[in-house]
Amino acid sequence: MTEKANNLSCADFQAQLPDLIGSGEDISLHPHLQSCDLCRALLADLETIADAARKLFPIEEPPDEVWEHIESALKHEKPTEA
Amino acid sequence: MPYSKAPMKSADPAPPQAGGKSTQPASTSATYRPAAIPNPAEADALARAQAGDHHAFEQLYSLHKRRIYSLCLRMVGNIAEAEDLTQEAFLQLHRKIATFRGDSAFSTWLHRLAINVVLMQLRRKGLPVISLDEAMEPAPEERPGRSFGAPDLTLSGAIDRLALQRAIDDLPAGYRLIFVLHDIEGYEHNEIASMLDCSIGNSKSQLHKARLKLRDALRTQSRQEARR
């Protein structure tokens, strides 16, 4: 990280956040975060939300009836234009 | 504090037959990366389904049903509606499968098709979603502002499940879609950009706005509860 990064305002840092997070790099060492409680808290919150959301929505299995309905509907449809 | 990546796409690791009977040994792979790793079983079933083989189409259903159903469920939050949307997505797939030319991963193409089915349903319900483009560009009044404010209400620790569910349900459909695809389903931004016909930068930006909006909603709720 550069000295320029250290002098970022919160607005500038947060404008860069989508790209910083999307880079997959560990941004906890970003100079701005070393000195800004506000943005550090923001990042912690975003991480907590994403983690909680993953736990909230497990992959679900559709009931067998869904395929039965699809099969039934296909019988009444025209053949595909293969 | 490395920003944790979403879990990899983990759906359908051991695709059973549509009726529940297994057609092949359970995969030992814990993850499924449709765009990155071509699935030989899928490629074979796809080719045969495109030629009109009904059993092959059933195999494709088995391979993708959980992820498509889960996507629908996460988007509409209603089991009966998610079942109907899953059914409609696969009927659309059956109608259009011959047009798939392999320009993108099949699962990406199928997800895009399913997303369109979901967005059409949201439009029918009167929600402010007209097209993918509009879903990606919520109205100005829906845009969350920058997240300045006192850091006295960080969410670190436990987040109430119901509060989070409500906050996600309240997201505008475009934000919810990006959030579900990236943070819950584990798609990368380049895959989402391909699915939604948008730029990678747009995908990143919309996801960030969605997260900020969720944070604002949860913080607001925390404040309200603190006052009680």
In CATH, what number is assigned to the domain containing residue B215?
Answer: 1.10.10.10
Compute the distance between CA of residue B171 and CA of residue B78 in angstroms, rounded to an integer: 16
pLDDT of residue B62 exceeding 70: yes
Please tell me whether residues B119 and B135 are part of one structural domain.
Answer: no
pLDDT bracket for residue A1 (50, 70, 90): very low
Question: Is A28's CB within 8 Å of B2's CB?
Answer: yes
Q: Mind giving me the DSSP string for chain B?
A: ---PPPPP----SS-B-TTS-B-SPPP--S---TTTS--HHHHHHHHHHHTT-HHHHHHHHHHHHHHHHHHHHHHH--HHHHHHHHHHHHHHHHHHGGG--SSS-HHHHHHHHHHHHHHHHHHHTT-S--SHHHHHS--GGGS-----S-GGG---S---HHHHHHHHHHS-HHHHHHHIIIIIT---HHHHHHHHT--HHHHHHHHHHHHHHHHHHHHHHHHHHHH-
Please tell me whether residues B64 and B133 are part of one structural domain.
Answer: no
- Among B18, B157, B159, beta carbon nearest to A67: B18
Q: Determine the average pLDDT of the residues in B131-156.
A: 47
Please tell me whether residues B98 and B191 are part of one structural domain.
Answer: no
**Domain annotation covers residue B152:** no
**Domain annotation covers residue B188:** yes
Give residue A7's Cα distance to chain centre.
27
Q: How many domains does chain B have?
A: 2
Residue B209 structural domain: 129-140+157-228
**Domain annotation covers residue B170:** yes
Q: Determine the average pLDDT of the residues in B176-197.
A: 86
**Domain annotation covers residue A80:** no
Please tell me whether residues B116 and B136 are part of one structural domain.
Answer: no
**Domain annotation covers residue A81:** no
Question: Is B161's CB within 8 Å of A42's CB?
Answer: no
- Among B66, B67, B156, beta carbon nearest to A48: B156
Question: Is B208's CB within 8 Å of A18's CB?
Answer: yes
Q: Is B145 on the interface with A (CB under 8 A)?
A: no
In CATH, what number is assigned to the domain containing residue B59?
Answer: 1.10.1740.10
Compute the distance between CA of residue B57 and CA of residue B74 in angstroms, rounded to an integer: 25
How does B174-212 read in b/e, with b if 16+ C-beta sit within 10 Å? bbbbbbbbbbbbbbbbebbbbbbebebebbbbbbbbbbb
pLDDT of residue B179 exceeding 60: yes
Half-sphere exposure of A73 (CA within 13 A, CB side): 17
**Domain annotation covers residue A62:** yes
pLDDT per residue as tens digits for the range B80-137: 999 999 999 999 999 999 999 988 889 989 999 999 999 888 878 765 543 445 444 5
Residue A23, pLDDT score:
75
- Of the listed ranges A73-77, B103-107, B224-228, the least confidently predicted one is B224-228
**Domain annotation covers residue B11:** no
Please tell me whether residues B89 and B170 are part of one structural domain.
Answer: no
pLDDT of residue A42 exceeding 60: yes
**Domain annotation covers residue A65:** yes
- Of the listed ranges B65-69, B170-174, B211-215, the least confidently predicted one is B170-174
Residue A8 structural domain: 3-75
How much of chain B exceeds pLDDT 90, in percent? 32
**Domain annotation covers residue B148:** no
- Of the listed ranges A3-12, B137-146, B187-196, the least confidently predicted one is B137-146
* Paired tokens of A12: 């500038």
Taking a C-beta distance cutoff of 8 angstroms, is the pair A45, B149 a contact? Answer: no
pLDDT of residue B14 exceeding 80: no
ipTM of this complex: 0.75
**Domain annotation covers residue B8:** no
pLDDT bracket for residue B155 (50, 70, 90): low
Residue B154, pLDDT score:
60
Compute the distance between CA of residue A5 and CA of residue A28 in angstroms, rounded to an integer: 13
Please tell me whether residues B135 and B115 are part of one structural domain.
Answer: no
Please tell me whether residues B134 and B112 are part of one structural domain.
Answer: no
Please tell me whether residues B168 and B207 are part of one structural domain.
Answer: yes
Compute the distance between CA of residue A70 and CA of residue A82 in angstroms, rounded to an integer: 19
Contacts of A21 in chain B (CB under 8 A): 3, 204, 208
pLDDT bracket for residue B68 (50, 70, 90): very high
- Of the listed ranges A38-42, B6-10, B150-154, the least confidently predicted one is B6-10
Residue B75, pLDDT score:
87
Q: Is A56 on the interface with B (CB under 8 A)?
A: yes
How many H-runs (helices) and E-runs (strands) does chain A carry?
Answer: 5, 0
Compute the distance between CA of residue B147 and CA of residue A46 in angstroms, rounded to an integer: 11
Could you tell me how many CB contacts below 8 A there are between chain A and chain B?
A: 161
**Domain annotation covers residue B150:** no
Q: How many domains does chain A have?
A: 1
Please tell me whether residues B120 and B193 are part of one structural domain.
Answer: no
Compute the distance between CA of residue A63 and CA of residue A66 in angstroms, rounded to an integer: 6
- Among A21, A59, A70, beta carbon nearest to B3: A21
pLDDT bracket for residue A72 (50, 70, 90): very high
**Domain annotation covers residue A39:** yes
Chain A residue closest to B14 (CA)?
A: A61
**Domain annotation covers residue A47:** yes
pLDDT bracket for residue B35 (50, 70, 90): very low
pTM: 0.71
